[in-house]
């Protein structure tokens, strides 16, 4: 059994990440440099291809500007410096999934540099940030299959040539716990700005980790090892923990860590040496002379600035302005469907509904009812939030806030309105569920109760305050649907006299 990192306090881990994200969105129909479709759908192997994707002699790449649009959107969202001029290079290497022996990428002059990814925790808010080194554009490789024939590697090139954004962080992760938060935060942002859905199971987002250890407090980084094939958040955590212990054990035994690329073996839970890490010059990077430099106008860059605020910024706003719990704000804002439903309920934009925006207290109430009640109803039905009319929750909130119904009645009304697609207001009216909040009517009944139980009133005034509940019960019996808060307030006043 491996010990946890905490039991080895003399070393600490440093990590960086390289994230490859496929550009697959409604704006991007084709691959990065060819007319073949940009898709992850399961097609027959090697059918979705253009000459360029094979790198056949004489085929010339033509850059798809939708990839640049996606890169600029990601750059804006991640606060990068976006470069008006970037250059395509060839990365030369021989591997079966790259039939032409070179990958088009941007090595010397990437489209964006710098930037940061906020570490957004689901429960507690923004807990830090990860610095980015760069974002560059490149093309995807084919996919190898080692399990079809024991003697051969089969390759499907359908994926080859799909546009990728490679997002590279600085080596600034100081704890393994930051990795899952980073991946989820980055995924949310990239989804939000319509780069890709980032489904890791489909290989739409792939993460390589570079991991090194150093004596605690040292400012000199240790030799880094790159770990590939970490295709889920669970694998990343396991691979990082394994690698930390492997490197610490090596150093403790007087050995040294080799700079290399290792593969994570999911079944065995170990990393295996794959190849010595090539230095950059071994790739013989050279400008791609078939592609002109990528020049972007100020207008092009400005146009990609997505107008909507990022989910974590919306969360911050809801927490700071309206007192929502972070966890509630996070659930609402991290799903575009929930987010727009909530905005419609509250009428933030004053566009969808003719009614006025909700007040601060009503917005808080709306969030509580959405997370606390509506999500439960949705979970037990086969409906999605898109099929629920925001007016439903809005009416419930207004009915409760104006004391027309109690919270208890509100739950029943919401359920019925949800199931039968009725208006909550209509249900309350039809079934006469309004509370009695009229002070005159309430004090009238309290007087009647006092007249009926004079001895109990006397006992209360002599100090038997536990009789308060008895009076509440007696009034509610006579006055169905009385607003309990009004009743309590009036009772206190009248008993105090």
Interacting residues toward Mn ion by CB under 5 A: 166
Q: Which residue is nearest to Mn ion (CB)?
A: 166
Alpha carbon distances (Å) from 394 to 329, 349, 401, 409: 17, 15, 11, 15
Distances 27 to 30, 31, 43, 85 between C-alpha atoms, Å: 9, 12, 21, 22
Instruction: Find the shortest distance in angstroms from Cβ 93 to Mn ion.
Output: 11
Q: Residue 170 or residue 401: which is nearer to Mn ion going by CB? A: 170
Work out how close the CB of 138 gets to Mn ion at its nearest, in angstroms, rounded to a whole number: 5
Task: Choose between 63 and 107: whose C-beta lies nearer to Mn ion.
Answer: 107
Per-position b or e across 372-408, b if 16+ CB within 10 A of its CB: ebbeebbeeeeeebeebebbbbbbbbbbbeeebbbee
Least gap, CB of 105 to Mn ion (angstroms): 6
Other beta carbons less than 10 A from residue 334's beta carbon = 21
Quote the least distance from Cβ 205 to Mn ion, whole Å.
13
Task: Return the structure tokens found at 264.
Answer: 């994570």
Structure tokens at 334: 């991290």
166 vs 204 by CB, closer to Mn ion: 166
| CB closer to Mn ion out of 34 and 106 | 106
- Among residues 259 and 352, whose Cβ is nearest to Mn ion? 259
Question: Which is nearer to Mn ion, 169 or 483 (by Cβ)?
Answer: 169
CB neighbour list of residue 381: distance below 8 Å, 6 or more residues apart: 418, 419
Name the DSSP letter for residue 232: S
Nearest by Cα to 262 from 241, 293, 239: 239
Query: Looking at beta carbons only, is 140 or 490 nearer to Mn ion?
Result: 140
Shortest distance in whole angstroms from residue 397 CB to Mn ion: 49
Which CB atom, from 156 or from 166, has the smaller least distance to Mn ion? 166
Least Å distance between CB 292 and Mn ion? 22
Element (H, E) at 61: none
Residue 205, beta-bridge partner list: 21
**Residue 223: DSSP 8-state:** -
Which backbone phi and psi does 345 adopt, to 5 degrees? Answer: -60, -45
* Minimal distance, residue 228 CB to Mn ion, in Å: 11
Question: Measured between alpha carbons, how far is 13 from 30 in angstroms, rounded to an integer?
Answer: 40
Q: Where are the alpha helices (DSSP H) in 148-279?
A: 178-192, 233-252
Closest separation in Å from C-beta 20 to Mn ion: 6
């Amino acid at each position: 059994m491996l010990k946890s990192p905490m039991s080895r306090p003399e070393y600490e881990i440093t990590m960086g990440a390289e994230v490859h994200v496929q550009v697959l969105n409604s704006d991007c129909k084709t691959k990065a440099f060819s007319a073949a479709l940009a898709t992850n759908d399961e097609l027959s192997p090697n059918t979705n291809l253009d000459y360029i994707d094979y790198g056949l002699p004489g085929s010339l790449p033509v850059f798809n500007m939708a990839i640049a649009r996606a890169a600029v959107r990601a750059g804006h969202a991640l606060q990068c410096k976006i470069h008006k001029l970037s250059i395509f290079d060839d990365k030369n290497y021989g591997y079966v999934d790259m039939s032409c022996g070179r990958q088009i990428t941007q090595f010397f002059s990437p489209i964006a540099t710098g930037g940061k990814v906020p570490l957004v925790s689901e429960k507690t808010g923004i807990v830090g940030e990860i610095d980015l080194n760069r974002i560059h554009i490149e093309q995807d490789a084919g996919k190898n299959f080692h399990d079809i024939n024991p003697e051969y590697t089969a390759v499907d090139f359908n994926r080859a040539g799909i546009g990728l954004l490679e997002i590279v962080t600085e080596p600034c992760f100081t704890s393994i716990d930051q990795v899952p938060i980073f991946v989820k935060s980055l995924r949310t942002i990239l989804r939000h700005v319509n780069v890709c859905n980032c489904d890791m199971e489909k290989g739409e987002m792939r993460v390589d980790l570079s991991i090194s250890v150093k004596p605690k407090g040292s400012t000199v980084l240790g030799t880094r090892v790159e770990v590939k094939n970490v295709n889920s958040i669970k694998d990343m955590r396991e691979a990082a923990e394994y690698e930390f212990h492997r490197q610490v054990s090596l150093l403790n035994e007087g050995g040294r860590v080799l700079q290399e690329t290792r593969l994570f073996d999911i079944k065995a839970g170990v990393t295996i040496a794959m190849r010595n890490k090539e230095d950059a010059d071994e790739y013989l990077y050279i400008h791609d002379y078939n592609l002109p430099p990528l020049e972007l106008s100020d207008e092009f860059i400005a146009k990609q600035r997505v107008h909507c605020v990022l989910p974590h910024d919306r969360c911050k706003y809801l927490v700071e302005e309206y007192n929502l719990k972070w966890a509630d704000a996070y659930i609402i804002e991290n799903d575009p469907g929930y987010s727009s439903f909530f905005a419609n309920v509250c009428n933030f934009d004053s566009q969808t509904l003719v009614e006025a925006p909700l007040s601060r207290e009503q917005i808080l109430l709306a969030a509580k009812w959405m997370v606390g009640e509506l999500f439960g109803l949705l979970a037990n039905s086969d409906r999605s939030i898109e099929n629920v009319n925001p007016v439903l929750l809005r009416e419930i909130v207004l009915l409760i806030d104006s004391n027309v119904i109690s919270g208890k009645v509100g739950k029943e009304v919401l359920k019925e309105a949800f199931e039968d697609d009725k208006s909550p207001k209509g249900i309350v009216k039809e079934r006469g569920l309004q509370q009695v909040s009229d002070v005159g009517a309430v004090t009238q009944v309290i007087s009647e109760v006092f007249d009926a139980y004079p001895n109990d009133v006397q006992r209360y005034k002599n100090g038997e305050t536990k009789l308060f509940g008895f009076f509440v019960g007696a009034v509610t019996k006579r006055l169905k649907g009385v607003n309990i808060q009004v009743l309590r307030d009036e009772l206190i006043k009248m008993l105090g006299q």
